[in-house]
Structure 1
Amino acid sequence: MTEASNAGRRPRIGWAALLLALAGCAGPLQRGPGDGWVAAWGSAMLGQAPPAPAASAPWQQPMRDVSLRQVVRVDAAGTALRVRISNLFGAEPLLVGAASVARVAELAPQPRLDAASLRPLSFAGRRELVVAPHAEAWSDPVEIALPRQADVAVQLHLLRGPAVASVHLGSRMRSWAVAGNRVDAAAWPEAVVEEGWWHLAAVDVRASPRAVLVATGDSITDGYGVPSGSYQRWTDALSRRLAAQGRDAVVVNTGIGGGRLLRDGLGPSLAARFERDVLARSGVTHAVVLIGVNDLGVSHRGRATTPESRAALLAELQAGFADLARRARARGVCLIGATLMPYAGSGYYAPGPENEADRQALNAWLREPGRFDALLDFDALLRDPARPARLRAEVDNDGLHPSLAGYRAMAAAFPLEVLERRCATAR
């Protein structure tokens, strides 16, 4: 659907709800070198210990002599790609026997590959790869023509996987597995389906977009509630909006469901993974950080709090956000903050009035000028004016997460002009 056809369906609160604090930005963004690498897709890894949620072969862990087909959508047009294989959480080596990539001609019900585009991957000139424990490795570049938002299938033959796999289970995309080495075969009719990405952390494309935006955070960014393969996360909608307007910018999503800013949750804390999942992404120029609701919610779920404990948590969160801003500015990355959406309707966290007061206090601090290079006021965008502690009914999924309409509203309200600016490196 085009930008124009969506215009009449936007929420009541739109662009005006987003506060822009661009004092830290320094003029138009210049196009990068034409032979550079940029992040075109990414995921945030976390550890998956056996037994895996689906114990059916060939998905049993640790994986042995299994080929995986994993589909990703690259957000930059280019002439070549490279793939990053992850063993970040494994305590044993990850042995890859072979790997390949191909464009996907059709997604459903199972990926149908463009057989003419099937390319073997190599690693330092060899098809085999050993990834050391707690390490990652890039493939060699492979020439392949990729249009913007192309679906790419990455095939990995895992000779031997570690006991703890490095995965992203909140992929909102299916993957396929078969026994043996099948990475050079286009058709896998007997493949077994599972949701998630395994040992696949990044795909870079040789391109030179004007901006690379990495969006990170918790399950709201990770796309909770999005049907598998539908590409309806708020970042997916933003990517389509940029493409429809001819904007030369890439969007990469590194959210983790259950993620927290300060402490580990279902995965590492954002403070711990900020370098790997945001600042180290190839060519990153901008980042959006939407996180904190789980820090607040976990602190009071099923336990008593005191004014002192809540004040201490708010101070810790403020210090954590300030540290992210400092680290981003030290790298010349424009950091875009975001206010926390209301969650009083959440049966999982069931916040009381004092917890809602904490959310509002944190949002007031986040809105203060100079905290970030820009601020997205998603609270103002999605809250119910009559009941500001709750999401509006038309954008509410479960009292905590936005609905699909809510994700579209977030993307529609993003101020695209922010991506036309660059931020000076702090000294």
Structure 2
Amino acid sequence: MRRAVVFLLLLSAGCTAPEPPRRPAPPVSSVTPSAPVTPQWTGTWAAAVQGDGRAFDDHTLRQIVHTSIGGHAARLHLTNEFGTRPLTIGSAGLGAHRAVTFGGRPSVTIPVGGSAVSDEVPFVVPADADVAVTLYLPAATGPSTRHPVASRRNWVAAGEQVFATRLTGARAERSWYFLSGLDVRGGAGAVVAFGASITDGLGSPFGGDRRWPDLLSDRLRASGREIGVLNTGLSGNRLTADEHGERAPARFARDVLRRAGVRWVIISDDALNDLGAADPPPAGRLIAGLRELITRAHAAGVRVICSTLTPYEGAGYWTSGGEAGRAAVNTFLRSPGSGCDAVLDQDEALRDPARPARFLRRYDSGDHLHPSAAGLQAIADAVDLRWFAP
């Protein structure tokens, strides 16, 4: 059973990492002790972003993210990837009262198309915890950069309220704005779940952190593996066209290869949206696009877990031609020549044996395209944890 930790006040308590046990003095005085090894940065939470017309001016955003692994320090990733003017962050905080700085300063201006990484913030970050990230936007932002489907409540309020325990006059938001990642010191690497709405958790219980990557994180943690799970699913995204954000190959470096500590990627469901397009590309083009992602991941030293495409007969955009394309893509992904290091067979995990083009009824959310809560669990359970070897 998941045990969510509400992580708003813990950060302000000034928690620090326990001191390591003392080593005995070296027997020879001329031996110089080695310097302590600083744990690497590993992503504990991430979000893929796209452009949005919403703008802010003299507003405070309080946004909640859920960690997958813990560590002894943290840093934030902020983004103005799709902005049309420089974005100024007047101040930022973690938890209730922990200030975040950028190059030693409380504020930072991010250029159009740019990003910013905060300084290291020292405190112990628990795994499986809710972390409040608060940003003050003192000037007009212009169009926002956001992740639309946060599947939880965030908050926006007028004026500067970064260190307020409770925001005055706040209203709810259901997206993450200008925030793309949280890293921690520690962990044994990260796996990125890269896909579209099935990965993004569209239809999963609101506020429950029950997307299939969340459920995979539960399994990894229960097995004793300290592996960050980063969800860069983007609902509506495609492999071969810019729709609901940049096409998968255009965002692959930003959302996978540049993530802190990435060692594995699970390439999931973008191609399903291509098959449902008004003029779907041929299967050969989808296969070529997947080959490109696999090749780029391997060139960066990242192992690739390929996911077969799930059944979707009965969905609004299903066609017999799309079904033939799905079958061809899945045949490629299961083949020895695909280049995949492993295959997460979402198709096999969710299909109805009597009607393989459809979900098994208990795995269908009702729209015949997105899995139910039980279906999301079935995807997570189909992951072989032995793939995540040290």
Normalising by the smaller structure, the TM-score range is 0.7 to 0.9
- Residue 367 of structure 1 corresponds to which residue in structure 2? 334
Q: Distance in 1 between matches of 2:111 and 2:60?
A: 20
Q: In the superposition, relative to structure 1, how do residues 366 and 178 fare at CA in structure 2: closer, same or farther (>3 Å)?
A: same
**Residues 1:242 and 2:220 are matched in the alignment:** yes
Q: CA offset at residue 286 of structure 1?
A: 0.3
Q: Which amino acid aligns with 2:148?
A: L
Q: Does 1:100 align with 2:93?
A: yes
Matched, 1:182 2:175: no
Give the Cα separation in 1 of the matches to 2:376 and 2:139.
39
Contact 1:172 1:228 in 2 (8 A): yes
Q: Which residue of 1 aligns with 2:114?
A: 135
AA aligned opposite 1:390: R
- Mind listing any 5+ residue stretches in structure 1 that lack a counterpart? 3-32, 53-60, 103-114, 301-309, 422-427
Question: Partner residue of 1:17?
Answer: none
2:200/2:234 contact within 8 Å kept: yes
Asked if 1:354 is matched to 2:321, the reply is yes
Separation (CA, whole Å) in 2 of partners of 1:413 and 1:363: 16
Q: Distance in 1 between matches of 2:38 and 2:87?
A: 34
What is the deviation of 1:356?
A: 1.4
The answer to whether 1:284 aligns with 2:262 is: yes
Aligned 1:20-39 pairs, distance under 5 A: 34-39=38-43
Residue of structure 1 equivalent to 2:80:
87
Distance 2:170 2:141 in 1: 22
Shift of 1:189: 4.7
State the 1:34 CA deviation: 4.2
1:290–1:339 contact (8 Å) kept in structure 2: yes
Q: Which amino acid aligns with 1:275?
A: A
Once residues 286 and 225 of structure 1 are traced to their aligned partners in structure 2, the CA distance between those partners, rounded to angstroms, is 26
* Larger mean Cα displacement after TM superposition, 260-269 or 273-282: 260-269
Deviations 1:257-276 (A, max 9, x none): 00111111111111100000
**Corresponding residue to 2:127 among 137, 145, 148:** 148
In the alignment, the residues of structure 2 paired with residue 380 and residue 75 of structure 1 have an alpha-carbon distance, to the nearest angstrom, of 27
**Corresponding residue to 1:224 among 202, 207, 210:** 202
* 1:203-223 CA-partner distances (Å, limit 9, x unpaired): 11111x223100010000000
CA distance in 1, matches of 2:249, 2:140: 28
Contact 1:211 1:420 in 2 (8 A): no
Could you tell me which residue of structure 2 aligns to residue 41 of structure 1? 45
Q: Does 1:343 align with 2:292?
A: no
Q: CA deviation at 1:165?
A: 0.3
Q: CA RMSD in A?
A: 1.4
Correspondences of 1:152-301 after superposition (within 5 Å): 152-207=131-186, 209-291=187-269, 292-300=271-279
Give the conservation status (yes or no) of the 8 Å contact 2:59–2:159: yes
- Please list the CA deviations of residues 331-372 of structure 1 after superposition, one character each: whole Å capped at 9, or x if unmatched: 1100111110111110x2032x33212211111111111421
* Correspondence 1:410 to 2:388: no
Deviations 1:258-313 (A, max 9, x none): 0111111111111100000001000100000112110111145xxxxxxxxx7x62
Q: Is the 8 A contact 2:70 2:125 kept in 1?
A: yes
Structure 1 counterpart SS, 2:42: strand
Quote the offset at 1:190 in angstroms: 2.7
Q: Which residue of 1 aligns with 2:362?
A: 394
Aligned-partner residue type, residue 79 of structure 2: S
Q: 1:355 to 1:293 in 2, by over 3 A?
A: same
Q: Distance in 2 between matches of 1:161 and 1:283?
A: 34
Contact 1:384 1:390 in 2 (8 A): yes
Give the distance between the partners of 2:247 and 2:263, measured in 1 at CA. 22
Gaps of 5+ in 2: 3-36
Q: Which amino acid aligns with 1:250?
A: G
Question: SS in structure 2 opposite 1:298?
Answer: coil
What's the secondary structure of 2:274's corresponding residue?
A: helix
Q: Does the residue aligned with 1:163 lie in a helix, a strand or coil?
A: coil
TM-score by length of 1: 0.80
Q: 2:195 is matched by which residue type in structure 1?
A: G
The one-letter code matched in structure 1 to 2:185 is R
Distance 1:94 1:313 in 2: 40
Match of 1:66 in 2: 59
User: 1:90 is aligned with what amino acid?
Assistant: G
Q: CA deviation at 1:133?
A: 0.6
Q: Which residue does 1:382 correspond to in 2?
A: 350
Question: Normalized against structure 2, the TM-score is what?
Answer: 0.88
Tell whether the 8 Å contact from 1:121 to 1:142 is kept in structure 2 after alignment.
Answer: yes
Q: Does the CA contact (< 8 Å) of 1:85 and 1:202 recur in 2?
A: yes
The letter for the 2-side match of 1:215 is A
8 Å CA contact retained: 1:216, 1:289: yes
Once residues 341 and 277 of structure 2 are traced to their aligned partners in structure 1, the CA distance between those partners, rounded to angstroms, is 28
Which residue in the other structure is 2:70 paired with?
Answer: 77
Q: Which amino acid aligns with 2:240?
A: L
Identity, in percent, stands at: 41
Q: Secondary structure of 2:317's partner?
A: coil
